[in-house]
């Protein structure tokens, strides 16, 4: 089975096993085969230092992203749980193949290198146990420099991390953002919890 076929199968599985509140959305994601293939190719370009756009490259002004995300979640905070589930599928499909390790600690060490490579922020591990950990993001592309609007906005980061770790560990994983620059904190802090339950997203453990 090719990498792309494995990717399609993973996202299909995620759609079938999505939480009851959002089955239609995740099912639609799973059906976008051409889009999934293009995004996978774009991640490969990013990994290899190949420009997706010949003139502008792969970087983009962060305000272009954050003004939309910030106002969307500020005006419609009920979308936050939905965004988490979208992020979880993205993490399972695109981040999981880019991290290595058999334990939460190994996976977390592998994962924190991605943020600066993709210029999302600087990440550090605060502490890690067998089934639980905390890590921080500094200079977060989503929220650094925003005023205290009383919201934790980095829901995609929470979701993508949860999806990636869940697939790699083969167990249900949830990630909660407990501190956020948009909530008056100096950094974003994420709490990972691994549950003794099978992953609904499948597993690449042998």
Q: Which residues contact 178 (CB under 8 A, 6 or more apart)?
A: 134, 152, 189, 190, 191
Q: Per-residue confidence of the chain (206 residues) as pLDDT tens digits?
A: 455 565 555 555 544 444 444 456 556 666 666 777 777 788 888 888 898 888 877 877 777 777 888 888 888 888 888 889 888 888 988 899 889 999 999 999 999 999 998 888 999 999 999 999 999 999 998 889 889 999 999 999 999 999 999 999 999 999 999 999 999 999 999 999 999 998 877 677 64
With b meaning 16 or more CB within 10 Å and e meaning fewer, what string describes 78-104?
eebebbbbbbbbbbbbbbbbbbeeeeb
pLDDT value of residue 163: 92
Range of the domain at 69: 61-198
pLDDT value of residue 157: 94
Give the chain's domain count: 1
Cα–Cα distance measured from residue 7 to residue 29, given in angstroms and rounded to the nearest whole number: 12
3 domain residue, yes or no:
no
Q: List the end-to-end C-alpha distance of the chain, in Å, as a whole number.
A: 16
pTM of the model: 0.80
Selection from 46, 38, 16, 20 nearest residue 28 by Cα: 16
151 domain residue, yes or no:
yes
Q: What is the CATH number of the domain that holds 94?
A: 3.30.1380.20
206 domain residue, yes or no:
no
5 domain residue, yes or no:
no
175 domain residue, yes or no:
yes
23 domain residue, yes or no:
no
9 domain residue, yes or no:
no
28 domain residue, yes or no:
no
């Amino acid at each position: 089975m090719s990498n792309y076929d494995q990717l399609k199968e993973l996202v299909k599985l995620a759609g079938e096993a999505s939480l009851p509140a959002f089955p239609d959305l995740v099912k639609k994601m799973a059906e976008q085969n051409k889009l999934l293939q293009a995004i996978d190719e774009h991640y490969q370009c990013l990994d290899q230092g190949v420009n997706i756009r010949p003139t502008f490259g792969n970087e983009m002004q962060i305000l272009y992203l954050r003004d939309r995300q910030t106002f969307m979640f500020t005006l419609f905070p009920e979308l936050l749980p939905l965004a988490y589930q979208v992020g979880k599928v993205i993490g399972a499909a695109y981040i999981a193949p880019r991290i290595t390790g058999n334990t939460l600690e190994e996976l977390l060490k592998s994962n924190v290198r991605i943020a600066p490579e993709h210029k999302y922020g600087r990440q550090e591990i605060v502490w890690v146990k067998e089934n639980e950990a905390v890590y921080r993001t500094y200079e977060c592309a989503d929220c650094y420099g925003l005023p205290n609007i009383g919201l934790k906005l980095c829901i995609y980061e929470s979701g993508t991390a949860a999806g990636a770790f869940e697939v790699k560990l083969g167990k249900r994983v949830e990630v909660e953002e407990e501190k956020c620059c948009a909530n008056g904190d100096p950094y974003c802090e994420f709490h990972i919890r691994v549950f003794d339950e099978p992953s609904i997203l499948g597993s690449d453990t042998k």
